[in-house]
């Protein structure tokens, strides 16, 4: 059976990355070029995605003729928005940390659940086992937990690897305008997500120091850090200004539900 064929109510959770976009394309292909009537595509915007990610989501919608529902967290639920009106300065994320009065961290990673999963489920009324997410077969470290939740992983079932995704976008008329290395897009998901390795975050801060400001302000607001074993964002900003290079470039990012 075609793992992309949708025959019952299904949510396609689109992270805004190349892999989940590839999954969406395959679903459309299996549906004869159209989104099945039982399916809905959702993109949950945290306000901390790079502008190129937002543009890519819109490009997928326009180039493939597929409706994509844009959602954002609000303390009393969610709002539906669009490319033109989507938050771009971390507003949904800021509302969440203000409400919680503490920061998400590697032990308590409530940001994905609150900013993405719950708004999507509130809108669609669909469960984990009725939700597709873009995880590849080579992302083996993520698969067991996601399968335990019952999430649908069509790329895993189809045996899709990062090379398949890379080749697809090489032949596409458009692409995500963010560089990737060995299947990893540095600026994918939230720009300075605390789950990324320190060297990865430092490279991002060094390239554009202003990206660290919002994260540093969040830590200052709460009086805590996102990751107790990593430098604070204020420290990373200071390190970048002093041009220090003292972190392990091979440190891997910790996987989370957000996808790529």
User: CB of 74 within 8 A of CB of 94?
Assistant: no
pLDDT of residue 242: 77
Mean pLDDT of 185-211: 91
The pLDDT mean for the chain works out to 92
Is the predicted pLDDT of residue 243 greater than 70, yes or no?
A: no
> In terms of Cα–Cα distance, which of 97, 50, 40 is closest to 70?
40
Domains of the chain: 10-180 (3.40.50.620), 192-242 (no CATH)
Read off the tokens for 8. Answer: 């019952």
pLDDT of residue 240: 86
pTM for this entry: 0.91
132 or 246: which carries more pLDDT confidence?
132
Reported as a single tens digit per residue, the pLDDT across 159-188 is 999 999 999 999 999 999 998 877 678 888
Reported as a single tens digit per residue, the pLDDT across 89-115 is 999 999 999 999 999 999 999 999 999
Reported as a single tens digit per residue, the pLDDT across 117-160 is 999 999 999 999 999 999 999 999 999 999 999 999 999 999 99
């Amino acid at each position: 059976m075609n793992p992309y064929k949708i025959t019952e109510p299904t949510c396609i959770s689109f992270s805004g990355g190349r892999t989940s976009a590839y999954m969406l394309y395959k679903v459309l292909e299996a549906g004869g070029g159209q989104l099945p009537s039982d399916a809905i595509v959702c993109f949950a915007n945290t306000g901390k995605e790079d502008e190129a990610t937002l543009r890519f989501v819109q490009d997928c919608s326009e180039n493939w003729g597929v409706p994509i529902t844009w959602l954002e967290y609000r303390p009393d639920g969610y709002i539906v928005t669009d490319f033109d009106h989507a938050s771009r300065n971390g507003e949904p994320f800021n509302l969440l940390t203000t409400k919680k009065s503490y920061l998400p961290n590697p032990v308590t990673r409530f940001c994905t659940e609150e900013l993405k999963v719950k708004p999507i489920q509130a809108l669609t009324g669909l469960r984990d086992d009725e939700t597709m997410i873009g995880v590849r077969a080579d992302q083996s470290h993520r698969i067991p937990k996601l399968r335990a939740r019952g999430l649908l992983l069509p790329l895993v079932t189809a045996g899709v690897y990062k090379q398949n995704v890379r080749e697809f976008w090489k032949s596409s008329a458009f692409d995500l305008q963010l560089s990737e290395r060995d299947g990893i897009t540095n600026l994918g998901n939230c720009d300075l997500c605390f789950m990324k390795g320190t060297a990865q975050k430092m490279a991002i801060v060094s390239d554009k120091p202003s990206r660290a400001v919002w994260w540093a302000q969040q830590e200052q607001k709460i009086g805590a850090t996102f990751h107790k074993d990593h430098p604070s964002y204020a420290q990373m900003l200071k390190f970048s200004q002093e041009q220090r290079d003292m972190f392990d470039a091979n440190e891997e990012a910790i996987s989370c539900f957000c996808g790529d």
